[in-house]
Amino acid sequence: MVDALITILFMVVVGSVIGGFTNHIAIKMLFHPYEAKYIGKWRVPFTPGLIPKRREDLAIQLGRTVSNYLLTPDMFRTKILSPEVRQMASDFAAKKIEETIFRDDRTLAQWLDVAGFSHLPRTVEEKVDAVIQSQFASIQNTLATKTLRELIPNDFEATLDQKVPEFVEYLVEKGEAYLKSYDGQITIQKMLNDFLQSKGSLGGMVQMFLGGDTTSLAETVQRELVNMMKSDNIYNMLHEVIQREYEKVKDRPVTDFTADIDFNRIETSVKDYAKKQLNLDERLNYTINHYWPQGKAWATDELLPKLLDRGFAEAENKIEDVVKKLNLQEVVRQQVNTFPVQKLEDLILGISKREFKMITYLGFVLGGLIGVVQGLFAVFV
């Protein structure tokens, strides 16, 4: 009886040792050795371990699993483009807009400094000076090469042409009114006296004949001049003369009228006026809120929601293309292939160490049970 128990116990111990050790070796052989071992040119069987040997297949399978079942476009839509993420993005952007842009302690000049454009005010003034100088040069070149007729717009020239008859009528009316006036009569009488005095004795005889009073003669001349002003001949003569001189003026070079103009002084005055009106140094010394009090509300309540709607819509439409371009399957494969086997072992054992121990223990138990069966079989048979 004692021999039977010893035999069974021996079988149990041997079976347990064999079962547990076998499972332990099997688990170790999943990772060890990391590299193939050779005796001469003969490779030792079961080297390297299963996972190092099949790492390429493992990497491909993991990449396929990740891309097909884990990091899919639907997952990205669900997690990244969720309402919660949108709200977080909206809150973050609104906070940054308020803290970064619409600040009361940073002027436009300081913003330009931050952006690296502190020279912008001087550059703008230089550009304005250059534009004014260029325009003045263009104007002077135009004036130097064109006549007044070429420079006047056609519609404005037609308007001026229509004013010539009106101007002639105006002159006739004013001339007639002046001749009829007392001042006109005095002027005519003075001119007659000057004329008679310039004629010497002949003029003196006429004055003696008139009794030294030329008033009546002046009135007669006045009536005749008034009648003459009313005649069509005077109107036609004035119209012809003025029209002829008007056409000559239009054909004269513009420089005839601008020779005495100091364009350099005018140009300098215009530049100084433009700088004074721009007043960039003072205008840039205010904040964005000063010029745009409603800016923050508009940016957060109107602009930001539209940008987020557009951004999320575009992201949702492009997410499949992005995932395809990322080629996650290949990324995972490359990462697994470059991952050290020891780190991979530590990672797997860190997750499944307890389960591997249980497998080892299970080997001891199963080996012990098999030993019991073998012991009983050896004793009774």
Least confident residue range of 59-68, 78-87, 92-101, 229-238: 59-68
Least confident residue range of 29-38, 115-124, 183-192, 363-372: 29-38
Tens digit of each residue's pLDDT (9 = 90 or more) over 246-262 = 888 888 888 888 878 88
pLDDT of residue 196: 63
Tokens of 168: 């002639």
Q: Note if the bond before 48 is cis, omega within 30 degrees.
A: yes
- Does the pLDDT of residue 163 top 80, yes or no? yes
pLDDT of residue 356: 67
- Does the pLDDT of residue 320 top 70, yes or no? yes
Tens digit of each residue's pLDDT (9 = 90 or more) over 259-314 = 788 888 998 999 999 988 888 888 888 888 888 888 888 888 888 888 888 888 88
**Per-residue pLDDT band at 131 (split at 50, 70, 90):** very high
Strand, coil or helix: 38: strand
pLDDT, the chain, mean: 78
pLDDT of residue 269: 92
CA 359 to chain centre: 65
pLDDT of residue 201: 61
Least confident residue range of 61-70, 102-111, 339-348, 358-367: 339-348
Q: With pLDDT > 70 as the criterion, what percentage of the chain qualifies?
A: 81
**Per-residue pLDDT band at 230 (split at 50, 70, 90):** confident
Tokens of 378: 């050896």
H/E stretch holding 146: none
Q: Give the residue, 79 or 299, on which the prediction is more confident.
A: 299
**Which 8-state DSSP code applies to residue 213?**
-
- Does the pLDDT of residue 211 top 70, yes or no? no
Q: Could you tell me the CA-to-CA distances from 272 to 61, 129, 216, 264, 265 in Å, in that order?
A: 76, 9, 65, 12, 11
Tens digit of each residue's pLDDT (9 = 90 or more) over 6-28 = 776 777 777 777 777 777 777 77
- Does the pLDDT of residue 245 top 80, yes or no? yes
Tens digit of each residue's pLDDT (9 = 90 or more) over 24-37 = 777 777 667 767 67
Q: Give the residue, 202 or 7, on which the prediction is more confident.
A: 7
pLDDT of residue 348: 66
- Does the pLDDT of residue 87 top 70, yes or no? yes
Q: How far apart are CA 238 and CA 245, in angstroms?
A: 11
Q: Looking at the whole model, is its pTM more than 0.75?
A: no
Q: Tell me the DSSP string of 132-181.
A: HHHHHHHHHHHHHH-BHHHHS-HHHHHHHHHHHHHHHHHHHHHHHHHHHS
Strand, coil or helix: 254: coil
Tens digit of each residue's pLDDT (9 = 90 or more) over 329-342 = 777 777 777 767 77
Tokens of 270: 């215009």
pLDDT of residue 314: 83
The closest alpha carbon to 26, from 340, 366, 371, belongs to: 366
Q: Give the residue, 314 or 49, on which the prediction is more confident.
A: 314
- Does the pLDDT of residue 206 top 60, yes or no? no
Kindly list the domain boundaries of the chain, sorted by start residue: 2-83+326-380, 147-252
pLDDT of residue 139: 85
- Does the pLDDT of residue 80 top 60, yes or no? yes
- Does the pLDDT of residue 143 top 60, yes or no? yes
Q: How far apart are CA 379 and CA 381, in angstroms?
A: 6
